[in-house]
Amino acid sequence: MFKDKNVIITGASRGIGKAILEKFAKNGANIWACASRPNKEFEEECNKLSKQNHVWIKLIYFDLLDETSIKTAFMKIFKDKVKIDILVNNAGIPSNGLMNMTPLKTLREVLEANFVAQIGIIQMVSKKMMRNKSGVIINMGSIGGIEAREGYLSYGSSKAALLWATRSISKELAPYNIRVNAIAPGLVKTSMGDFKPDEEAEKIISNLSIKRMGKPEEVADAVLFLASDHASFITGTILNVDGGRLI
Residues 6+ apart with CB under 8 A from 55: 25, 28, 29, 30, 31, 49
| Alpha-helical runs (H) found in 12-116 | 15-26, 40-53, 67-78, 104-111
Determine contact, residues 49/13, Cβ cutoff 8 Å: no
61 in active site = no
Q: Compute the distance between CA of residue 163 and CA of residue 88 in angstroms, rounded to an integer.
A: 14
- Separation of CA 205 from chain center: 23
Residues 6+ apart with CB under 8 A from 200: none
Determine contact, residues 168/124, Cβ cutoff 8 Å: no
Q: Compute the distance between CA of residue 207 and CA of residue 199 in angstroms, rounded to an integer.
A: 13
Q: Compute the distance between CA of residue 147 and CA of residue 54 in angstroms, rounded to an integer.
A: 41
Local structure of 51: helix, strand or coil: helix
> Of 61, 152, 155, 176, which residue is the catalytic one?
155
Q: Which residues are catalytic?
A: 155
